[in-house]
Amino acid sequence: MSQSNSDRRKFLKNTSVLSGMFLLSGLQNKIKSETIAPNKVPPIFANRIKFAVINIDHPHIYGMTDAIKRGGGELVALYAKQPDLSAAFLKSFPEAKLVKSEKEILEDSSIHLVLSSGIPDERAPLGIRVMQHGKDYLTDKPGIITLEQLAEVKKVQKQTKRIYSIMYSERFENKGTEKASQLVKAGAIGQVIQTVNLAPHRIFNGVGKTGSSVRPDWFWDKKRYGGILTDIGSHQFDQYLHFTGSTEADVLMSQVGNVHHPDKPLFEDFGDVMLSGNGGTGYIRVDWFTPDGLDTWGDGRLTILGTDGFIEVRKNTDIASGLKGGNHLYMSNKKEMVHIDCNNETLPFGPLLVDDIINRTETAMSQKHCFLATELALKAQKSAKILNIKK
């Protein structure tokens, strides 16, 4: 082996070790650490609000419930049509009282907030009923699946002044993405120019509480879930708006297709979008092609390009580095090239939403942003060209 090759290998080995030990503190100093200490947050007092859950057709409800409990919410009631889903939920959250009807929750004046992960086409109508009963609403994504639903939701929200929030969990519940938000806000990579979101998912999952090893009939019906850009893509439109700071945007191109599931004619397994807004550009790709060999439900990746550097978040896994788990953030800017383990980050969405419910503020997510992310997804879905790949 030549001396130059030996030196190069030694350099690469040392670099891989050190990459996990440097992080950005403000914009001035490098601090050696394998992980980042969690953000200091004010203490959260229990039972700040009372909340209930109506309909639990998707297991995202578990993460949603945990988020509100982290914010000081007290779970008091559950209504769901399926006894097996109810039994599983109550095993994790035994404090909830199982009630016999939606009406019991809607007419309980002590309940401030309702959560739902019902069948997607039923989420907006329920949210309207919730707001009309003087309560705030947090729904799983997609929170709205047609432009007609969106218009009605916006109308009722304006009339009632209640909060209609959508859990864009690929930002709110991912610690690597939360750290990226902090770095972008601090100016670590300059002005953001573009985001690239790759969001593959596995159809038959079974990973943790949120895994669905068997998909229900509505999962395969576009009329029930809204299409792949409306469904999975809603996460990515949220991140695009958030990181670019765009308050206006246009869909330049969108396409969807059913490439590999001919036995499910109402299903879409691939989609992508190009966006242009007043804060930057964006590209989104969503699909249902996560292979069985991957150690998670999807190798979700977010790349943020700035004028002074870039950030890449490996949300759920990183097969290139061999590092275990997710929440890996890579950044290069004018000062350094770093890897940050973000697993100790604090997720602020739940506490902030509870604050908003109490104080009638918009710190967790503005209502305009919530609706604009959904509107872009719906317009991209409606205008999408049908992808036709010849075999």
Q: Same domain for 228 and 326? A: yes
Across the range 164-188, mean pLDDT stands at: 97
Local structure of 312: helix, strand or coil: strand
Contact (CB, 8 A) for 222 and 267: yes
DSSP assignment of 55-112 equals --SSTHHHHHHHHHHHTTEEEEEEE-S-HHHHHHHHHH-TTSEE-S-HHHHHT-TT--
Q: Is residue 39 part of a domain?
A: no
- Give yes or no for residue 12 having a pLDDT over 80: no
Q: Same domain for 195 and 233? A: yes
Q: Is residue 40 part of a domain?
A: no
pLDDT tens per residue, range 48-81 = 999 999 999 999 999 999 999 999 999 999 999 9
Q: Same domain for 180 and 314? A: yes
Q: Is residue 359 part of a domain?
A: no
Report how far apart, in Å, the C-alpha atoms of 256 and of each of 240, 281, 284, 286 are: 19, 20, 12, 9
Q: Which residue has the tokens 């697993």?
A: 343
In this prediction, residue 2 carries a pLDDT of 46
User: What CATH number does residue 86 fall under?
Assistant: 3.40.50.720
Q: Same domain for 73 and 120? A: yes
Q: Same domain for 121 and 231? A: no
Q: Same domain for 305 and 214? A: yes
Q: Is residue 147 part of a domain?
A: yes
- Give yes or no for residue 175 having a pLDDT over 50: yes
Q: Give the residue with greater pLDDT, 389 vs 159.
A: 159
Q: Same domain for 287 and 250? A: yes
Share of the chain above pLDDT 70, in %: 86
In this prediction, residue 125 carries a pLDDT of 98
In this prediction, residue 42 carries a pLDDT of 54
Q: Same domain for 162 and 214? A: no
pTM score of the predicted model: 0.87
In this prediction, residue 204 carries a pLDDT of 81
DSSP assignment of 282-311 equals EEEEEES---TTSSSS---EEEEEESSEEE
In this prediction, residue 41 carries a pLDDT of 54
Q: What is the enclosing helix (H) or strand (E) of 314?
A: strand 309-314
Q: Same domain for 245 and 306? A: yes
Q: Is residue 81 part of a domain?
A: yes
Provide the pLDDT confidence category of residue 136 given band limits of 50, 70 and 90: very high
Q: Is residue 373 part of a domain?
A: no
In this prediction, residue 29 carries a pLDDT of 36
DSSP assignment of 127-165 equals HHHHHHTT-EEEEESPS--SHHHHHHHHHHHHHH---EE
Q: Is residue 276 part of a domain?
A: yes
In this prediction, residue 19 carries a pLDDT of 39
- Asked if the bond preceding 291 is cis, omega within 30° of 0, the reply is no
In this prediction, residue 214 carries a pLDDT of 78
pLDDT tens per residue, range 72-116 = 999 999 999 999 999 999 999 999 999 999 999 999 999 999 999
Across the range 197-226, mean pLDDT stands at: 81
**Structure tokens given for 147:** 């432009």
Q: Same domain for 19 and 102? A: no
In this prediction, residue 213 carries a pLDDT of 61
pLDDT tens per residue, range 254-287 = 999 999 999 999 999 999 999 999 999 999 999 9
pLDDT tens per residue, range 327-356 = 999 999 999 999 999 999 999 999 999 999
Q: Is residue 25 part of a domain?
A: yes
**Structure tokens given for 387:** 């992808």
Number of domains in the chain: 3
Which of 167, 197, 230 is a domain's end point?
Answer: 167
In this prediction, residue 65 carries a pLDDT of 98
User: What CATH number does residue 300 fall under?
Assistant: 3.30.360.10
Across the range 291-312, mean pLDDT stands at: 95
In this prediction, residue 35 carries a pLDDT of 44
> Sign of torsion, CA 144 147 150 156?
negative
Domain of residue 25, residue span: 3-31
pLDDT tens per residue, range 360-371 = 999 999 999 999
Q: Which residue has the tokens 């990515």?
A: 236
Local structure of 280: helix, strand or coil: strand
Please give the single-letter amino acid code of residue 167.
M
Provide the pLDDT confidence category of residue 5 given band limits of 50, 70 and 90: very low
Q: Same domain for 340 and 200? A: yes
Q: Same domain for 163 and 178? A: no
Average pLDDT over the chain, rounded to an integer? 89
Provide the pLDDT confidence category of residue 322 given band limits of 50, 70 and 90: confident
